[in-house]
Chains A and B, each alone.
Chain A
Amino acid sequence: MDKVFYTLQNFMTHTESVTYLLVAATLVGMTLFWLFLGSGKNED
């Protein structure tokens, strides 16, 4: 995390890579959260 970046290219490659992984996790997480929200007691 405290890694030193010597070029903007390195910085962007690192941060974008981590962010893309988070985006993928979010897509899965939000789907699961939606299923969690709707799986309670029956709707009226």
Chain B
Amino acid sequence: MTEETIAENKSFFNLFNICAGIVVVIGLYITYLRFTGGLAAVTNLSDNNPWGIWISFDLLCGVALAAGGYVTSAAVYLFGMKKYHSAVRPAVLTGFLGYSLVVLALQYDVGRPWRLPYPLVVQQGTTSVLFEVGLCVAIYLTVLFVEFSPAALEWLGLKKARNLAVKLTILLTIFGVVLSTMHQSSLGSLFLIAPSKLHPLWYSPYIPIYFFVTSIIAGLSMVIFESTLSHRFFAYKMDETHLKEANGITLGFGKAAAYVLAGYFAIKVMGISAGNNWHYLKTGYGTWYLVELIGFVALPALLYAIGVREKNLILIKWTSVLAILGIILNRFNVCLVAFNWQLPSSERYFPHWMEIGISVFIVMIGLILYRFIATRMPILYAHPDYKDAH
């Protein structure tokens, strides 16, 4: 990045800040309406459709796309793939912000934020899958906070606290993998209770496995995508190691994503077979299912594979976008499109513009926080005092 561009970015009234300012002001206004007028004031939710895009996008997509933290930490610290070490901090930061924003988004949907700890300390619904999800997300958010803390502590110059947090790395990584396996799959388990509401092509007894496997794909693809954006906008913050390792990360994660996508494609087809749902493929919903399965699972698997074979980084980076869109499409299909599929169209849900506004507002908060942290803390470079610590 040239000095001129950096200087331009330093100006307060740049394009990003202006857009962010507009989105934040609108978001705060809708927040005011939501918490003073209730759900009816800003959403199209109803008794038939109690879950809208705040669940399908902010929560289901948010949790899946924040999976890069546990995927990368496991690869580096548990499987010993040290060549991907420079991807850990950006991935953990993305995961930490992702989960924080999931919890924030949940407040809009559930309401009464002061009652957030109730399921933990007042009334435990231990037979509920949702209780398990809530407990896992609460613990995992704490784990991510501690995993992220060395960067903040290095920035603050608190050496002792930083060294203590670093000593916990392996333990936290194991916790992260266990907790993620549990709650990523449990988000799919939520739909096991509704076999009559979810279209048979999307409903499967294996849906928890589908959700878990897709979270790995989302995590791998998000690391590639986030790394691409970081190189585009924060290259001036990166040290030599980060710049040198970037191509290897893209190739390695692309290869892993190709293989996991191929496996996911196979188990999805087995799911159709196990339910004997082949005849549904001839219907309109079947066509849409094939669009998802071929266009957003098989195609990215093939494109990732070609990109890895040809060492075509551009293709891998664009494929990561396709794979991420595929995960988002899958969550929308499960939670909205194929849910309540037997209801007449007049009773189906379509989000209110203010629901979309809150989702955009929350994504924007994530971007602002990422930018704030990445430009100040040692996320994309090693702190000079700890250069040999890895």
Which residues of A does B touch, CB under 8 Å? Answer: 1-2, 11, 14-16, 18-19, 22-23, 26, 29-30, 33-34, 36-37, 39-41, 44
Whether the pair A22, B259 counts as a contact (CB closer than 8 A) is no
Whether the pair B276, A40 counts as a contact (CB closer than 8 A) is no
- Main secondary structure, interface of B, reads helix
Contact check: which of B263, B269, B276, B309 meets A15 at CB < 8 Å?
Answer: B276
User: Which of A14, A26, A33, A36 has the most chain B CB atoms closer than 10 A to its own CB?
Assistant: A33
Whether the pair A1, B266 counts as a contact (CB closer than 8 A) is no
Q: A23 to B303, alpha carbons, bound, how many Å?
A: 24
Whether the pair B270, A44 counts as a contact (CB closer than 8 A) is no
Q: Shortest distance in angstroms between B188's beta carbon and chain A's nearest beta carbon?
A: 20
Q: A44 to B8, alpha carbons, bound, how many Å?
A: 38
Q: Shortest distance in angstroms between B275's beta carbon and chain A's nearest beta carbon?
A: 7
9 additional contacts, CB 8 Å, given A29-B266, A37-B309? A15-B274, A15-B275, A18-B276, A22-B273, A26-B263, A30-B259, A37-B308, A39-B309, A40-B308
Contact A19 B270, CB 8 Å, known A30-B263, A37-B309, A41-B310: yes
Who on chain A is nearest to B261 by CB? A33
A–B Cβ pairs within 8 angstroms, 6 of them: A1-B278, A1-B279, A15-B275, A22-B273, A39-B309, A40-B311
Contact A34 B266, CB 8 Å, known A14-B276, A15-B274: no
Q: A36 to B273, alpha carbons, bound, how many Å?
A: 26
Q: A41 to B309, alpha carbons, bound, how many Å?
A: 6
Q: Shortest distance in angstroms between A27's beta carbon and chain B's nearest beta carbon?
A: 9
Whether the pair A44, B266 counts as a contact (CB closer than 8 A) is no
Enumerate chain A residues within 8 angstroms of B258, measured Cβ to Cβ: 33, 37
User: Which of A2, A30, A36 has the most chain B CB atoms closer than 10 A to its own CB?
Assistant: A36
Enumerate chain A residues within 8 angstroms of B269, measured Cβ to Cβ: 22
Whether the pair B311, A37 counts as a contact (CB closer than 8 A) is no
Whether a CB of chain A sits under 8 angstroms from the CB of B360 is no
Q: A40 to B307, alpha carbons, bound, how many Å?
A: 9
Enumerate chain B residues within 8 angstroms of A37, measured Cβ to Cβ: 255, 258-259, 305, 308-309
Enumerate chain B residues within 8 angstroms of A2, measured Cβ to Cβ: 279
Q: Shortest distance in angstroms between A21's beta carbon and chain B's nearest beta carbon?
A: 9
Which residues of B does A touch, CB under 8 Å? Answer: 248, 255, 258-259, 262-263, 266, 269-270, 273-276, 278-279, 305, 308-311
Enumerate chain B residues within 8 angstroms of A19, measured Cβ to Cβ: 270, 273-274
User: Which of B263, B275, B276, B305 has the most chain A CB atoms closer than 10 A to its own CB?
Assistant: B276
Give the A-B contact count at a CB cut-off of 8 A.
52
Q: A30 to B248, alpha carbons, bound, how many Å?
A: 23
Q: A9 to B270, alpha carbons, bound, how many Å?
A: 19
Contact check: which of A14, A15, A16, A26 meets B266 at CB < 8 Å?
Answer: A26
Whether the pair A33, B259 counts as a contact (CB closer than 8 A) is yes
Enumerate chain B residues within 8 angstroms of A14, measured Cβ to Cβ: 276
Q: Shortest distance in angstroms between B231's beta carbon and chain A's nearest beta carbon?
A: 19
Q: Shortest distance in angstroms between A42's beta carbon and chain B's nearest beta carbon?
A: 9
Whether the pair B309, A22 counts as a contact (CB closer than 8 A) is no
Q: Shortest distance in angstroms between A19's beta carbon and chain B's nearest beta carbon?
A: 5
Q: A39 to B310, alpha carbons, bound, how many Å?
A: 10
Who on chain B is nearest to A33 by CB? B262
Q: A28 to B305, alpha carbons, bound, how many Å?
A: 17
Q: Shortest distance in angstroms between A13's beta carbon and chain B's nearest beta carbon?
A: 11
Whether the pair A23, B270 counts as a contact (CB closer than 8 A) is yes
Enumerate chain A residues within 8 angstroms of B255, measured Cβ to Cβ: 37
Who on chain A is nearest to B256 by CB? A37
